[in-house]
Amino acid sequence: MNHSPLHRSHGAFAPHEALAEALLPHATSSDDGSHDVAHLQRVWNNAAAILAKEGGASEIVAAATLLHDCVTVEKNDPMRAQASRLAARKAEAVLAELGWDAARIAAVAHAIEAHSFSAAIRPETLEARILQDADRLDAIGMIGVARCFYIAGRMGSGLYDPADPEANWRPLDDKSFAIDHFENKLFKLAAGFQTQAGAQLAELRQARLRRFYDEFLDEI
């Protein structure tokens, strides 16, 4: 059986299958299972749902989705805040090779640069706002929970501080304790959504995220 990313993604980026076939070989740069082809598929599903309600240039959003993590920097790397800029530069080169014009390349590059939470770049176009929302939807809800603990495992973090799980008497430290990432970042994401459709989807996922956190604390 063929387990290549191209095989597994067949039809997952409709109606942009040809674009996906061209871009997927450039789309990921590490073995990070939280930023793999499955993540790109989920982000595109989110983006397509937002596009259906908000409008926007579908092909620009699809290209930006496919290439937004084409340069991967681990969460604990000092260069983390530069990851989206590095990805945008690589995306520019890839799209230029495909013969895209300068204006469309610039639109994709801006969306990629602005999608990142750590980069803190304001999205100036509808397409950039859609990608940012679509990517952040994958960081909350139950997928967000799974990705949080997956990344914590990659970094060698503990699940929680047994002396003070909620960080009532210590600074939050999500490099040491996975559960700290909820208060440090994940719970903040829902307030920053850029589109009405994205915000509506985020409200549901935020409730799931909060429910997990409360039940986790109850069990420990």
Taking only the tens place, the pLDDT of each residue in 132-176 is 999 999 999 999 999 999 999 988 999 999 999 999 999 999 999
- Of 135, 158, 181, the residue at which a domain comes to its end is 135
Question: Would you place residue 75 in the very low, low, confident or very high pLDDT band (cuts 50, 70, 90)?
Answer: low
Whether residues 8 and 116 fall in one domain: yes
The predicted pLDDT at position 198 comes to 97
Whether residues 105 and 117 fall in one domain: yes
The predicted pLDDT at position 3 comes to 40
Taking only the tens place, the pLDDT of each residue in 11-59 is 789 999 999 999 999 998 777 777 789 999 999 999 999 999 999 999 9
Q: Rounded CA gap, 109 and 102, in Å?
A: 10
Whether residues 92 and 188 fall in one domain: no
The predicted pLDDT at position 33 comes to 72
Whether residues 110 and 150 fall in one domain: no
pTM for the full predicted model: 0.88
Question: Would you place residue 9 in the very low, low, confident or very high pLDDT band (cuts 50, 70, 90)?
Answer: low
Whether residues 121 and 181 fall in one domain: no
The predicted pLDDT at position 5 comes to 46
- Of 117, 135, 153, the residue at which a domain comes to its end is 135
The predicted pLDDT at position 36 comes to 84
Whether residues 197 and 89 fall in one domain: no
Whether residues 116 and 42 fall in one domain: yes
Q: Which domain covers residue 196, as residue numbers?
A: 139-220
Question: Would you place residue 121 in the very low, low, confident or very high pLDDT band (cuts 50, 70, 90)?
Answer: confident
Whether residues 104 and 184 fall in one domain: no
For residue 131, what are its two tokens?
Answer: 């990608």
The predicted pLDDT at position 78 comes to 60
Q: Rounded CA gap, 206 and 187, in Å?
A: 7
Q: What percent of the chain has pLDDT over 70?
A: 90
As for how many domains the chain has, the answer is: 2
Q: Taking 60 as the threshold, does the pLDDT of residue 4 lie above it?
A: no
Task: Tell me the average pLDDT of the chain.
Answer: 90
Backbone angles phi, psi at 77, to 5 degrees: -85, 140
Cβ(127)–Cβ(107) under 8 Å? yes
Q: How much is the average pLDDT of 91-120?
A: 92
